[in-house]
């Protein structure tokens, strides 16, 4: 057997570098985080050959004193934490003290710095092969410059795993983009092989913040997003969320920051996915740039070597807060008569694209009166209050209006569809045959005709509106079915023969601990043994479904995410199917009054811009678009 020996400092650092330094982008991340922690307001990043040949970062932060230069390159040396209490409430991006030591062990590093208040600058040079630090005087303004050359020059095996120059720079650029989105008050300049890529100036207001967003993420994101700024129970959520029609085939335009730190968290992803569940087209992903601010003592950032993951002390509170606020912001989107037109590009009518559809007319592009740029608001409430507000997060809101006269009615419990009176008033107070009854034209205008029994043509103040009558009515029916379903507190039915489900001991424990998840949706699931549970009651709407399979799926979801919405999702799927069958069909001839009634109902129904499958329900062509189409004014 080999004897136990202490690793040499060089080997220990190179092993640690395997966790911290994966590629040039990892180096840039660690160095920029150090600069931001040093209070830098301007960061200049120059890279060559995707960062493999050279990475040079200059900041105007507080700098490093001469006596600390050599120590700064040692492992587990940091100025950011001193005691255990500091670790339990980390307020900085870095805190482990491994970055510089790990980077210097696999590269040739030159570090030049002048500390705040000092008159001289000093330079330290380190090469990974010997780790010996040589310090000498230098000329440098207040701040720090770190020059990293020949990455992995002494570990050729690891260098072979690097990708092409373009790929490595793409990863590096993404790191700069994320940090630029996390610190608006800091300026960023990025150059690659002598060519400037970004020159982002410090931001002081929301207008300039949106300009930075447009530069980094594209103008389309700003045009198709809602602003959000809400606070409760010491949690503040602000940022931008994309409209459901502006979705992506991949989850590549999703940025979430916790106290300025970019993270990818399963709990956060679950909350956002649940908020968008009813409005996204199948297989699409929402877009967002969101910032969560909370007490650092309530979040643990020391759970991953690269600090990409966090753990919340009260995960359920955070999840419910995120879901309820994002869900409400999406539901509050309403048609408006003076909004931007859609449906025209290049002077010709084009089919709206799910990925790049222009912003639909909205009543309020912002869910708040003002963001009070990057400053916390003072209208927070107590934790007990927000728990009460969020306790019913699974009960989706909707309008409690009843159909005064419909063509078909769907029973939310049995799913039966039956014919009733003609559709002369779908939830409105009276007929709208006379425009003189209104002093202003409604947001969706007045119907003028029906096209091929499928679309409603409406005239608004801005131009022409086309409505898919089946898709629009499907959303209206669905929202009212959900309201009726949840307002009845979800009727349950006892099973004549209870269903016994064999599970593992840990899963049975989970059922006992999370029984409220089942009870909130009309299930009664009891533990009957060490490795078995019994289903005694189920919601009426799911009585014909695969109850055992659903219970197992919910338990798996609870084990993976700590929370589950599978029961609600399954119930909503059934109601969506019923609503689809209960909505008015194509080729159904409607009167002008019936069409206007449908338009008025759309204006007050949540998420009426999309049907239950995430497809748009209406499109808008402005007068200027029509003029371009017919070359008027030329």
CB-CB contact of 532 with 508 (8 Å): yes
* Predicted confidence band of residue 213 (pLDDT cuts 50, 70, 90): very high
How many whole angstroms separate alpha carbon 256 and alpha carbon 288? 8
Q: What's the rounded mean pLDDT across residues 546-557?
A: 88
Alpha-carbon gap, residue 2 to 256, rounded angstroms: 47
Per-residue pLDDT at 433 exceeds 50: no
- The predicted pLDDT at position 32 comes to 95
C-beta neighbour count of 288 within 10 angstroms:
21
Q: Grade residue 418 by pLDDT with cuts at 50, 70 and 90.
A: very low
Reading phi first (left if > 0) and then psi (alpha if -120 to 50, else beta), residue 194 is in: left
Which region among 146-150, 437-441, 551-555 has the lowest average model confidence (pLDDT)?
Answer: 437-441
Identify the pLDDT of residue 486: 74
Q: Average pLDDT, stretch 215-239?
A: 93
* 532-539 sheet: strands from edge to edge: 492-502, 532-539, 524-529
Beta strands in 360-491, from DSSP E residues, in sequence order: 408-410, 417-419, 446-451, 455-459, 463-468
Q: Given a cut of 80, is residue 282 above it in pLDDT?
A: no
Contacts with 405 (C-beta within 8 Å, 6 or more apart), sequence order: 420, 421, 422, 423, 424, 425, 426
Instruction: Identify any residues that bridge with 144 across adjacent strands, giving them in sequence order.
Output: 59, 113
Residue 299 and residue 261: Cα distance in Å, rounded?
A: 11
Question: How far is 82 from 95, CA to CA, in rounded Å?
Answer: 10
**pLDDT of res. 305:** 63
**Which pLDDT does position 130 carry in this prediction?**
57
Chain CA centroid to CA 557, Å = 20
Domains of the chain: 9-200 (3.30.565.10), 206-332+367-390 (3.30.230.10), 397-634 (3.30.1370.100)
pLDDT at 633: 76
- CA angle, 162 as apex, 156 and 163 as ends, to 5°? 145
Distance separating alpha carbons of residues 608 and 409, to the nearest angstrom? 19
Spatial distance between the Cα atoms of 166 and 214, rounded to a whole number of angstroms: 23
Q: How confident is the model at residue 19 (pLDDT cuts 50, 70, 90)?
A: low
Average pLDDT over residues 606-622: 86
From 303, 242, 239, 253, select the one nearest 275 (Cα to Cα): 242
**Residue pLDDT, tens place only, 440-461:** 788 899 999 999 989 999 998 8
Q: In terms of pLDDT, which residue wins out, 19 or 380? A: 19
Q: Is 295 exposed, middle or buried (0-12, 13-18, 19+ CB in 10 A)?
A: exposed
Q: What is the mean pLDDT of the chain?
A: 80
Of 258-262, 402-406, 431-435, 505-509, the one with minimum mean pLDDT is: 402-406
When comparing pLDDT for 614 and 418, which is higher? 614
pLDDT at 266 over 90: no
pLDDT attached to residue 344: 33
Q: What is the pLDDT of residue 396?
A: 26
Q: Is it the case that residue 582 has pLDDT exceeding 90? A: no
Ranges of beta strands (E only) in 115-249 are 121-127, 134-138, 143-149, 187-192, 195-200, 225-232, 235-242
352 is written with which tokens? Answer: 């709206």
Which residue shows structure tokens 């109902």?
A: 601
Residue 611 has pLDDT above 60, yes or no: yes
Nearest Cα neighbor of 237 from 273, 288, 291 is: 291
* Range scoring the smallest mean pLDDT among 62-76, 92-106, 191-205, 317-331: 92-106
Mean pLDDT of 197-216: 93
Q: Computed from CA positions of residues 292, 293, 295, 296, in that sequence, does the dihedral angle turn out positive or negative?
A: positive
For residue 338, the SS3 value is coil
157 alpha carbon, distance to own chain's centre: 38
Query: Is residue 58's pLDDT more than 90?
Result: yes
Q: Which residue has 């050729």 as its token pair?
A: 156
By the 10 Å C-beta count (0-12 exposed, 13-18 middle, 19+ buried), 439 is classed as exposed
Confidence of residue 225 (pLDDT cuts 50, 70, 90): very high
Cβ atoms of residues 131 and 105 within 8 Å:
yes
Give the pLDDT confidence score for residue 112 in this predicted structure.
95
Give residue 518's pLDDT band: very low, low, confident or very high (50, 70, 90).
confident
In the chain, DSSP finds a helix count (H) and a strand count (E) of 19, 26
Distance CA 117, CA 130 (A): 32
Judged by DSSP in three states, 31 sits in helix
- The per-residue pLDDT for 403 is 31
Q: Residue 25: its pLDDT value, please?
A: 95
Split at pLDDT 50, 70, 90, the class of 147 is: very high
Cα dihedral 4, 7, 8, 9 sign = negative
> Does residue 478 register a pLDDT over 70?
yes
Q: What is the mean pLDDT of residues 76-101?
A: 75
- Range from 410-414, 482-486, 502-506 carrying the lowest mean pLDDT: 410-414
> Comparing 133-137, 376-380, 441-445, which segment has the lowest mean pLDDT?
376-380
DSSP 461-495: SSEEEEEEHHHHHHHHHHHHHHHHHHHTT--EEEE
With helix as H, strand as E and coil as C, how does 98-125 read? CHHHHHHCCCEEEEEEECCCCCCEEEEE
Res. 343: pLDDT tops 50: no
- Number of neighbours of residue 208 by Cβ within 10 angstroms: 15
pLDDT band at 499 (very low <50, low <70, confident <90, very high): very high
């Amino acid at each position: 057997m080999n004897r136990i020996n202490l690793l040499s400092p060089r080997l220990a650092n190179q092993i640690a570098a395997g966790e911290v330094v994966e590629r040039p982008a990892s180096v840039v991340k660690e160095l920029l985080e150090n600069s931001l922690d040093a209070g830098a307001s301007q960061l200049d990043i120059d890279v060559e050959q995707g960062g493999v040949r050279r990475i040079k970062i200059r900041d105007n932060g507080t700098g490093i004193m001469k006596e600390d230069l050599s120590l700064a390159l040692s492992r587990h040396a940091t100025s950011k934490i001193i005691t255990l209490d500091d670790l339990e409430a980390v307020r900085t991006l870095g805190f482990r003290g491994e970055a510089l030591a790990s980077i210097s062990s696999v590269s040739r590093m030159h570090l030049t710095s002048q500390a705040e208040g000092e008159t001289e600058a000093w330079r330290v040079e380190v090469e990974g092969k010997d780790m010996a630090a040589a310090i000498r005087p230098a000329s440098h303004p207040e701040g720090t410059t770190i020059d990293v050359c020949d990455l992995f020059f002494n570990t050729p095996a690891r260098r072979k795993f690097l990708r092409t120059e373009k790929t490595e720079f793409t990863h590096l650029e993404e790191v700069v983009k994320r940090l630029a989105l996390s610190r608006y008050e800091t300026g960023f300049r990025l150059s690659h092989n002598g060519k400037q890529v970004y020159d982002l100036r410090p931001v002081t207001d929301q207008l300039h913040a949106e300009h930075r967003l447009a530069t980094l993420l594209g103008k389309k994101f700003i045009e198709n997003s809602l602003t959000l700024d809400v606070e409760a129970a010491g949690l503040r959520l602000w940022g931008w969320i994309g409209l459901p029609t502006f979705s992506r085939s991949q989850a590549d335009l999703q940025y979430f920051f916790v106290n300025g730190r970019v993270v990818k968290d399963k709990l956060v992803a679950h909350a956002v996915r649940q908020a968008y569940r009813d409005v996204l087209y199948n297989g699409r992903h929402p877009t967002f740039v969101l910032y969560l601010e909370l007490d650092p003592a309530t979040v643990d950032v020391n759970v991953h070597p690269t600090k990409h993951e966090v753990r919340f002390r009260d995960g359920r509170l955070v999840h419910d807060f995120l879901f309820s606020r994002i869900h409400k912001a999406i539901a509050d989107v309403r048609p408006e008569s003076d909004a931007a037109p859609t449906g025209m590009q290049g002077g010709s009518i084009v089919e709206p694209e799910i990925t790049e559809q222009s912003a639909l007319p909205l009543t309020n592009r912002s869910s708040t009166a003002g963001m009070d740029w990057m400053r916390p608001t003072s209208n927070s409430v107590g934790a007990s209050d927000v728990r009460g507000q969020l306790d019913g997060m699974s009960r989706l809101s909707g309008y409690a209006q009843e159909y005064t006269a419909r063509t078909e009615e769907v029973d939310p419990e049995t799913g039966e569809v039956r014919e009733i009176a003609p559709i002369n008033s779908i939830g409105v107070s009276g007929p709208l045959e006379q425009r003189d009854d209104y002093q202003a034209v409604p947001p969706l205008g007045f119907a003028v005709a029906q096209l091929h029994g499928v679309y409603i043509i409406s005239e608004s103040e801005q131009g022409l509106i086309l409505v898919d009558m089946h898709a629009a009515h499907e959303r209206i029916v669905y929202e009212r079915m959900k309201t009726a379903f949840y307002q009845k507190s979800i009727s349950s039915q006892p099973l004549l023969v209870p269903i016994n489900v064999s599970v593992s001991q840990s899963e049975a424990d989970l059922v006992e601990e999370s029984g409220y998840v089942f009870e909130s949706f009309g299930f009664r699931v009891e533990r009957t043994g060490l490795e078995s549970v019994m289903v005694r009651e189920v919601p009426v709407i799911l009585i014909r479904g695969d109850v055992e399979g659903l219970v197992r799926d919910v338990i798996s979801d609870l084990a993976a995410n700590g929370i589950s919405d599978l029961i609600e999702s399954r119930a909503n799927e059934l109601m969506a199917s019923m609503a689809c069958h209960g909505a008015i069909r194509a080729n159904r001839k409607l009167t002008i009054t019936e069409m206007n009634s449908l338009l008025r109902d759309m204006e007050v129904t949540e998420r009426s811009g999309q049907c239950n499958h995430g497809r748009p329900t209406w499109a808008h062509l402005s007068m200027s678009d029509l003029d371009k189409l017919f070359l008027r004014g030329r």
